[in-house]
Structure formats: C-alpha cells, structure tokens
Structure 1
Amino acid sequence: MNDVKPSSEDPAIVEQLNNDYVQSDQHNDVKRFSEFLAEDFIVQTPGVTRNRAEFLEYIAKPRPFKDLSVHDVKIRILSDVALIHGRSTYTVLADRRRAGAATSAHGI
C-alpha cells in the first residue's frame, strides 16, 4: 500500500462501482464486467474454478438466478485499497431464495 490519503469522495465512488459490478452480473453486461476484473482474475465457486476468460464467458450466458440484491455493504478505505464486505440474496431459477457473503479488495 502507498501513503495515499483517502478522499472523502472515495466511499461513494467505490459504492457506485460495486453497484455497477452487481448490475453487470445480474444483466449479463460482459463489457462492463470485464472492466472490473484483473488479467489474472480467478474465481472459485462450489466445484468450479474459472479464470478471467472463462468467467466472462459464464457471465455472458443467461444468469441462473434473478432478483440479485446486496445488503449490509460496508466499505473500508485503507490507503489505496478499498475493502467491500457485504451479503447478497437472490432467487435461483427453481424459485428458491439463496444468500451469500463476500469480501472483495480493490485498488484505488
């Protein structure tokens, strides 16, 4: 981390970026979603590990859920890094509600 002083605007900017990230996922917006992912991005979900290209291909397909919402989002700015903590709820195609929790780190 650098000795960067956070701006008072940083939390609002990070919150908007997080909202864009969630909406990109919900609505198959691969172009916007790709702007968030590092070249060496990997994601692990139950039983599957995907790299950036594989994940973007997955995002392009019809989503296996609907009604994605985020709750209890907490943004922490630590010098030039933002940590986003929160939980999500969504309905899988079989109309069962599901929930998850996540923490993500982003360079500012």
Structure 2
Amino acid sequence: MAAAVNSGAVSDLDVLTQLNLDYINSVQNGDVARFDQILAPDFFCSNPDGTLVDRAAFLEQTARPVTISGLAAHDVKIRLMGDTAIIHAETRYAAPDGRAARGRYTDVWARRQGEWLAVSAHVTRG
C-alpha cells in the first residue's frame, strides 16, 4: 500500500522523503512488489537510453537482475505544489564493472485519493 497522507504528525514532506527512499531502494533491489504499490496506473518513465516506458514495461525492466550496486540519492530536492510534488536528485552507484558512476532523476508524484503515487520519472546517467 502506498503511504497515506496523515493529517497528524506526518507531513507530506516526510511521506515523500520516505517514498523517494523506497523508490531508490526498489531500483537497487529489483523490488517489483513495492513499485506495484507506489506507481500510479498511468505512470511513465523516460529511461537513460531515451526510451519511454509505461508502468507495465517499467515493472518488467525492474524484474531483471540488478547490475549496479551501492545506489544512493544525493542532493535531494522535494518541491511541493498542492497535490503534486517534483523530486530532483543525483544518484551515485557502482557500475557493473565496479567503476564509480552517477546520474540524475526527476520524479513527479501526485496525491490521489489521499495517497502519493509516482506518475512520472526521468532518469539520466553520466
């Protein structure tokens, strides 16, 4: 289940911070089940190779063996705009050959029926 917005002690920023961590961990661990919970039905992702994939194709590529290690987000910026949030961050990780690598991502989240769901992702690698 996606994180519900709680009008009490947990702020939208807290919820989105955790969802961002969940997203990064799901990429690193190939966690299709968690992605199935936090991706909107109409989710799309722009991959580093320039392809645009829908939710089903994204889940398929997530199920493939993970070839990178140590994936972590840095310089995370979460911008809240009502029921929409944009998250920008840098990623650092070890490439399959062990060399240090990095990239950037921009994720768009929308609050739908009280839950924050990822609706769009754009990923680059350098």
1:98 — aligned with what?
101
Which residue identity does 1:43 align to in structure 2?
A: C
State the SS of the aligned residue for 1:39: strand
Matched, 1:85 2:88: yes
Aligned counterpart, 1:25: 27
User: Which consecutive unaligned segments of at least 5 residues does structure 2 have?
Assistant: 1-6, 112-126
Aligned length: 103
Residue 91 (structure 1) shift: 1.0
SS at match of 1:35: helix
2:40 alignment counterpart: 38
| TM-score computed with the length of structure 1 as normaliser | 0.84
Structure 2 length-normalised TM: 0.73
Greater CA drift, 67-76 or 96-105: 96-105
Higher strand fraction: Structure 1 or Structure 2?
A: 2
Identity across aligned pairs (percent)?
38
CA deviation after TM superposition for structure 1 residue 52, in Å:
1.6
Separation in structure 2 between the aligned mates of residue 95 and residue 84 of structure 1, nearest angstrom: 27
